[in-house]
Amino acid sequence: MSESIRRRDALKIAGAAASAGAAAAQTSGDEPIRVGFVGVGGRGRGLLRNLLKLDNVQVPALCDINEENLARAQGMVAEARQSKPEGYSRSETDFRRLCDRSDLDLVINATPWQWHTPISLAAMNAGKHAATEVPAAQTVEECWQLVETSEKTGKHCTVLENDCYYRHVLFVLNIIRAGLLGEVLFAEAGYMHDIRAVKFGVAPGGGEPWRLEHSAVRDGNLYPTHPIGPVAWWMDINRGDQFAYLTSMSSKARSLKEFAIKEFGADDPRSRRDYKLGDVNTTLIRTVKGKTISLYHDTNTPRVKEHIVRVQGTKGAYNDMLNSIYLDGISPEQHRWEPADEYKKKYDHQLWKKMEAEAQGSGHGGGDFMEMYRLVKNLSAGKAPDIDVYDAAAWSVIVPLSEDSVAHRSKPVDFPDFTRGKWKTRAPIDPDEII
């Protein structure tokens, strides 16, 4: 038995500090949430911009090894009429000095994937809540480290999954809770987005070449949380049901190499190297209670960006790409879709009714603002984030589990139970509490 497994088995879960879901924020609703921010490149600045729109937020410290990015972000905070935040840029691990500050409640990080877990662990161990860009971890062991550290320290660790706050996602949550679809049986979702230019660093707005290195040496679903987050809410994952096992299969890898040859010429080193990531990955997931999910990942092929959303229940189905719904015995024509517009008006979520104007232009259809708004609101009230550490682990662990399955002829791979059985009694997400 490994030392990490012995450590997990020995971990005591009793007491307030032992439950990540019950961890209390250290600030009251009358006190500001003091935020340290790690990684203020393009994505980080977008999140920071939305954070600065909110009342009750202060940003005393920023960290980025790129001095230009850091200075630009410091200017953004100053323009928001706050004191210029202290900058940390000595090295890739200078986030540790930021986390050790005594004037922070929360550390947000928007860094390359490999830094998500180390920064979150440093924050929690220093007595701060942690919020990380997606995915939260890259290995099974990292997922356990996040859970164990959150439980041990009593600090929240959330993943910044903006897709959970999309208007259509919360609409679907409403119609499921209202019983329109009956019992949910199946969902289909995927992240299908041509980011070849981003990976090779030739996109008009800049690139993220670190993503290319993952594509060169890994094969699986490397970016699952955008599609699986909403589905997990709809299916009560970690709150009445749980992912049981998955099987994953990837197509051959062709498109990255072809893009490099076209962009840089056949003799360029980027054209001569091989890329392991299959162009299209399909991962099938079954839950303990028998629900199934088809999850897709494709960031390599030339395509139009798709947000695949389809959910099937015992009484009907909803297809977001068709903007259509079918309800057995209610829809006017049997076995024919009807437009979902009237249902969207009737079952529009109150968060969007309340905050639509503030969310306009915030990025990703308003989801970027909504996730920041909800995070700050919950912490200010001493509540757990909508997405807790068990969600962060369960959604992120699809990455290594899918890699394992792909590497072994699509063998079934079991999900760890990060809740240690608490999923059986935890209450489902309540749409009325997301306001």
- As a three-state string, the secondary structure of 311-355 is EEECCEEEECCCCEEEECCCCCCCCCCEECHHHHHHCCCHHHHHH
Buried b (16+ CB within 10 A) or exposed e, 234-245: bbbbbbbbbbbb
Convert the pLDDT of each residue in 238-268 to its tens digit.
Answer: 999 999 999 999 999 999 999 999 999 999 9
d(CA 67, CA 90): 10
pLDDT of residue 366: 96
The CA-atom distances, in angstroms, between 118 and each of 36, 68, 88, 289, 435 are: 15, 24, 16, 34, 31
pLDDT of residue 26: 38
Convert the pLDDT of each residue in 3-15 to its tens digit.
Answer: 343 334 443 333 3
Quote the tokens at residue 87.
Answer: 């900058």
∠ CA 176-362-201, rounded to 5°: 105
Query: Number of C-alpha atoms within 13 angstroms, CB side, residue 214?
Result: 20
Convert the pLDDT of each residue in 182-198 to its tens digit.
Answer: 999 999 999 999 999 99
Per-residue pLDDT of the chain (435 residues; tens, 9 = 90+): 343 433 344 433 333 333 444 443 333 456 899 999 999 999 999 999 999 999 999 999 999 999 999 999 999 999 999 999 999 999 999 999 999 999 999 999 999 999 999 999 999 999 999 999 999 999 999 999 999 999 999 999 999 999 999 999 999 999 999 999 999 999 999 999 999 999 999 999 888 999 999 999 999 999 999 999 999 999 999 999 999 999 999 999 999 999 999 999 999 999 999 999 999 999 999 999 999 999 999 999 999 999 899 999 999 999 999 999 999 999 999 999 999 999 999 999 999 999 999 999 999 999 999 999 999 999 999 999 999 999 999 999 999 999 999 999 999 999 999 999 999 999 999 999 999
d(CA 109, CA 37): 6
Distance of CA 90 to the CA centre of its chain: 28
> Which residues neighbour 62 within 8 Å (Cβ) at sequence distance 6 or greater?
36, 37, 38, 40, 70, 73, 74, 77, 85, 86, 87, 88, 98
Give the residue among 273, 236, 240 at the shortest CA–CA distance from 258: 273
pLDDT of residue 30: 63
